[in-house]
């Protein structure tokens, strides 16, 4: 049993294989958080939640004993009643007062994982769910705290459903999903910041007595911050220390805040960004706070990452392509940009097929009069002049070359220079009397409105039904400004950001379930919406518009903390790289792209015979190691962020029985007088013998892990090597 209710102590304990999460109803019915960490046989309540009064911390008058909202560790913290720390929920009551004091009502344990209407969420029959219902002391406002427990994966999910059972409307001015209270205060926060073409750069800072905030107010989870963060011991490493990882299953505005309080305890809150947010709940209606997924590891970052990887692969991604071998694709974007016609694409497909590529993706520029990025978004009508015939003609020509056919869309945006905008200028977000901001020459469609979504849906269906399409790249190339919807009254404009995401999810559900045989890849100017929300609908994401193998080391390294290799779109492109003019060996570009979905993004017709042969070799090699790479345990060995520690970045994937591993090492810095470099492997059997790249020599697992693998010296810029480690039986 993953969830245990102890009626006598009024505790609820969630057990996973290695972790334990516990809450307790106290003497006045508050739901107190008692513990989240390593699994224990017995919980000594006398050690838990010891607090004493301090001046200026008001006390609740329900009992003689001193209880202050400002001291207690809580499962749901509310603003307005004396909790001066970070709070999770701000409820504006029917009488206009802001405040709420939730008290325990009931608890229910069910088998299987709860789902959330209209929102993405982890799923699984093997999970157990707990619903704890609390009610405000005064008003008929209910909070259903949802917990999902995936025992084997060490994953616990949380969501909150707020229900208004009063006879008038209330509003939420803040509706976060999680309060997580830690007993003490010495922690670091690790998070992933960035910008376009530089996503998920790792940063780590001490949590002090001021708010540490990671957030987005861009209408998308964004390149700037990722909706995933970790709290960890200040000395935690890849293999050591306590780490709590939290991922938001949501693709819009978010906030993750942490602070050390006046009693030196750390609190974390996480959920939808409360800036520009206010949501009304009508009588008998509910508001659902999107899901947060949590993993605790007592053995550093690596273990936490692997729990997330497995859970995302098996309990978040859906559909036919969840477990299927995905096709090696070629995308024409960096090869041609807007400058192509059907003959050009077919010639690329022809050469690509010979190398073993399986899918051809036609990127931006095939519709309306789109020969540049200043027009035509919203007009999803095939440009038959450019395609020298119909879409069906083209897809058939590509199929004849032996390749499947895929296509690019940007359904959420609209160009001012489009027939759709000329017919319906009100479809785009704009504030009354104000000229909207333009970004990449385009506006964002008001997806809070069903008629707008329907218009795009119908256009997409028409294209997708016009011929056999095996793949769709779903892009989103700007952020939301000028937030105002004509569909909502003045006092409800604070709902628009969230309603946009709900509208997007409704459309994604409709389109992905109508076309279950299509492989969908999400994209937002590269990896601007790499989050667990999008992964529920689309099992892979274009990781970054930056295809330079060396820049990708940091991007893929940062991404790997939460997201598995299988979700990371990674392509080999041309050199000098279009983004930074760097030249790297083709082999290194391939080795880096292997640890993603591996594909091509260049004009193959311009490659030399040697280069073509190298790509053919890479495709074979990638396929040979496919299962190991896609499903193996992932270990970060050497970071690309600290050249002073090693000139190499290295990582390893390992079969779950530890009998086989693949290590990749890339030298990303040069040094005229390089000292011998080693990389210590992980996760092998200490007492087993292994060969390295079919070597005659055998190495003891313990030696490979304690002394390390010697990295051969290649006298070129940015060399890389793969090391295939196989147990000798």
> How would DSSP label each residue in 547-578?
--HHHHHHHHHHHTTTS-GGGEE-EEE-SS-T
By C-beta, is 137 or 344 nearer to ligand GLA? 344
Minimum distance, C-beta of residue 463 to ligand GLA, in the bound complex (Å):
16
* Residue from the set 291, 545, 614, 727 that interacts with ligand GLA by CB under 6 A: 545
DSSP bridge pairs for 243: 232, 297
Does the annotation mark 714 as catalytic?
no
DSSP conformation class of 70:
T
Give the nearer residue to ligand GLA in terms of CB position, either 111 or 372.
Answer: 372
CA distance 667 to 657: 29
554-573 footprint of ligand GLA as x/- string (CB under 6 A): --------------------
With respect to ligand GLA, which residue has the nearer C-beta, 300 or 525?
A: 525
Peptide bond into 149 cis (omega under 30): no
Q: Are 103 and 29 in contact (CB under 8 A)?
A: yes
Q: Is 47 helix (H, G, I), strand (E, B) or coil?
A: helix
Of residues 157 and 524, the one with the C-beta less far from ligand GLA:
524
Structure tokens at 82: 């004396």
CA distance 185 to 183: 7
**Helix or strand holding residue 258 (H, E):** strand 254-260
- Which of the ranges 76-84, 518-526, 554-562, 697-705 carries the binding residues for ligand GLA, by CB under 6 A? 518-526
Q: Provide the 10 A C-beta neighbour count for residue 186.
A: 13
User: Site mask, ligand GLA, residues 408-437, x = CB under 6 A?
Assistant: x-----------------------------
Contacting ligand GLA within 328-357 (CB under 6 A): 333
From start to end of 60-181, where are the E strands? 89-92, 102-111, 128-136, 141-150, 155-164, 170-181
The binder of ligand GLA chosen from 363, 401, 412, 603 (CB under 6 A) = 363
Q: How far is CA 483 from the centre of its chain?
A: 24
Among 411, 525, 564, 596, binds ligand GLA (CB under 6 A): 525
- Asked if 526 touches ligand GLA (CB under 6 A), the answer is yes
Alpha carbon distance 114, 119 (integer Å)? 12
| Binding flags for ligand GLA, 451-480, as an x/- string (CB under 6 A) | ------------------------x-x---
Catalytic choice (495, 531, 660, 727): 531
Q: What does residue 354 show for φ and ψ, rounded to 5 degrees?
A: -65, -25
Q: Smallest gap, in angstroms, from Cβ of residue 545 to ligand GLA?
A: 5
CB of 373 to ligand GLA, least distance (A): 6
Q: Is residue 360 within the footprint of ligand GLA (CB under 6 A)?
A: no
Instruction: Between 114 and 366, name the residue whose CB sits nearer to ligand GLA.
Output: 366
523 binds ligand GLA (CB under 6 A): yes
Closest CA to 638 of 666, 676, 661: 666
Under the criterion CB under 6 A, does residue 596 sit at the interface with ligand GLA?
Answer: no
> Shortest Cβ distance from residue 476 to ligand GLA (Å)?
9
Comparison of 358 and 363: residue with beta carbon closer to ligand GLA: 363
State how beta strands 471-474 and 519-522 pair: parallel
Q: Give the closest residue to 661 by CA, choosing from 707, 712, 726.
A: 726
Does residue 367 interact with ligand GLA by CB under 6 A? no
Q: CA-CA distance, 264 to 248, in Å (whole number)?
A: 26
Whether residue 531 lies in the annotated active site = yes
The residues binding ligand GLA (CB under 6 A) are 333, 363-364, 408, 475, 477, 523, 525-526, 542, 545
Question: Among all residues, which ones are annotated catalytic?
Answer: 531, 611
């Amino acid at each position: 049993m993953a969830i245990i209710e102890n009626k006598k102590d009024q505790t609820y304990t969630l057990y996973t294989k290695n972790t334990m999460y516990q809450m307790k109803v106290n003497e006045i019915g508050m739901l107190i958080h008692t513990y989240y960490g390593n699994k224990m046989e017995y919980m000594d309540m006398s050690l838990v939640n010891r607090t004493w009064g301090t001046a200026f911390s008001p006390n609740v008058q329900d009992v003689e004993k001193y209880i202050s909202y400002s001291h207690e560790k809580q499962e749901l913290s509310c603003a307005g009643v004396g909790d001066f720390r970070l709070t999770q929920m701000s409820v504006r009551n029917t009488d206009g007062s802001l405040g709420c004091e939730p008290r325990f009502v009931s608890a229910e344990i069910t088998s299987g994982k709860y789902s959330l209407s209209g929102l993405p969420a982890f799923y699984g029959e093997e999970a157990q769910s707990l619903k704890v219902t609390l009610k405000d002391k005064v008003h008929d406002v209910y909070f259903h705290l949802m917990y999902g427990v995936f025992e084997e994966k060490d994953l616990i999910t949380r969501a909150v459903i707020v229900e208004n059972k009063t006879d008038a409307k209330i509003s939420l001015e803040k509706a976060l999903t999680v309060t997580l209270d830690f007993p003490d205060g010495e922690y670091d926060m690790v998070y992933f910041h960035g910008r376009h073409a530089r996503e998920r750069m790792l940063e780590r800072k001490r949590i002090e007595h001021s708010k540490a905030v990671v957030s987005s107010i861009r209408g998308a989870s964004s390149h700037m911050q990722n909706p995933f963060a970790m709290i960890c011991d200040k000395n935690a490493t890849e293999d050591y220390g306590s780490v709590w990882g939290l991922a938001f299953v949501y693709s819009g505005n978010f906030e993750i805040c942490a602070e050390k309080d006046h009693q030196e305890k750390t609190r974390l809150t996480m959920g939808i960004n409360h800036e520009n947010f206010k949501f009304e709940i009508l009588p008998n209606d509910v508001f659902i706070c999107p899901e947060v997924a949590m993993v605790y590891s007592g053995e550093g970052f690596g273990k936490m990452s692997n729990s997330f990887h497995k859970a995302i692969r098996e309990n978040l991604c859906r559909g036919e392509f969840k477990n299927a071998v995905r096709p090696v694709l070629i995308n024409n974007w960096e090869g041609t940009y807007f400058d192509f016609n059907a003959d050009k694409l077919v010639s690329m497909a022809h050469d690509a097929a010979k190398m073993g590529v399986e899918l051809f993706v036609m990127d931006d520029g095939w519709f309306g009069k789109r020969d540049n990025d200043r027009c035509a978004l919203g007009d999803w009508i095939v440009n038959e002049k450019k395609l020298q015939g119909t879409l069906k003609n083209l897809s058939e020509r590509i199929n004849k070359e032996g390749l499947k056919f895929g296509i690019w869309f940007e359904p959420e945006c609209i160009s001012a220079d489009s027939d759709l905008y000329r017919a319906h200028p009100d479809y785009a977000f704009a504030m009354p009397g104000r000229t909207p901001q333009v970004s990449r020459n385009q506006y964002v469609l008001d997806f809070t409105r069903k008629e707008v979504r329907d218009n795009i849906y119908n256009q997409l269906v028409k294209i997708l039904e016009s011929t056999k399409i095996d793949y769709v790249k779903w892009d989103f190339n700007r952020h939301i400004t000028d937030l105002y919807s004509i569909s909502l009254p003045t006092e409800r404009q604070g709902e628009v950001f969230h309603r946009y995401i709900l509208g997007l999810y409704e459309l994604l559900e409709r389109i992905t379930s109508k076309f279950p045989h299509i492989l969908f890849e999400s994209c937002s100017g590269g990896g601007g919406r790499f989050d667990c929300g999008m992964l529920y609908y689309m099992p892979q994401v274009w990781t970054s518009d930056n295809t330079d193998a060396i820049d990708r080391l940091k991007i893929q390294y940062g991404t790997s903390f939460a997201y598995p290799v299988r979700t990371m779109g990674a392509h080999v492109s041309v050199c000098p790289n279009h983004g930074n003019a760097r030249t790297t060996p083709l082999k290194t570009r391939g080795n880096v792209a292997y640890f993603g979905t591996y594909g091509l993004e260049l004009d193959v017709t311009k490659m030399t015979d040697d280069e073509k042969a190298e790509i053919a070799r890479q495709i074979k090699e990638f396929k040979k190691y496919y299962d190991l790479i896609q499903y193996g345990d992932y270990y970060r060995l050497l970071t690309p962020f600290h050249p002073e520690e090693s000139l190499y970045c290295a990582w390893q994937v390992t079969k779950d029985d530890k009998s086989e591993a693949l290590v990749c090492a890339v030298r990303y810095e040069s040094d005229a007088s390089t000292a011998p470099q080693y990389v210590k492997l992980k996760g092998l059997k200490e007492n087993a013998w292994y060969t390295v790249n079919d070597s005659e020599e055998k190495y003891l697992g313990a030696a490979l892990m304690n002394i390390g693998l010697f990295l051969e010296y290649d006298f070129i810029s940015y060399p890389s090597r793969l090391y295939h480690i196989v147990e000798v039986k």
